[in-house]
Structure 1
């Protein structure tokens, strides 16, 4: 058994380990990538989410104006998309 141990260690190091690494590199390269259609769909979904957020903010402002005791949620916080929404509105008006 002692004579077999160094051979086994060398086989694992020089055959087994590179085989495992190359196997997973091949699997990684074969993994599906995002297509142009997927990117377009994601862009459309992001634009829809921004419009919906704008609508919620508008409704919350209206409710807050009508009922001073109402505790607003999303609409009172500064949205990270607010500048994007404003730029989207200006670009929509130009078209």
Structure 2
């Protein structure tokens, strides 16, 4: 796959990383949201990493996308448990990103 073919996944990863960072930041300081903060941070970091691997056309992009999809699934599940609007937006971005990452990983 060339860099251009990764475009949709790169865009989904960047959008997801941004939503995860916003969600995690919004949850900081709320003890009952500690797991949400952790999963958002993990997911954001993997999304940024994944977008970098694809941007460089790395031969490891598919493997990193598999890990990113897993992190997105976990984050989406965690955020879906909460009523906050930022959690809902984050969960949706995570679901979209996981779907795109699975296409690359296939």
Same fold (TM over 0.5): no
* Higher-helix-fraction structure: 2
TM category, shorter: 0.3 to 0.5
Larger radius of gyration: 1
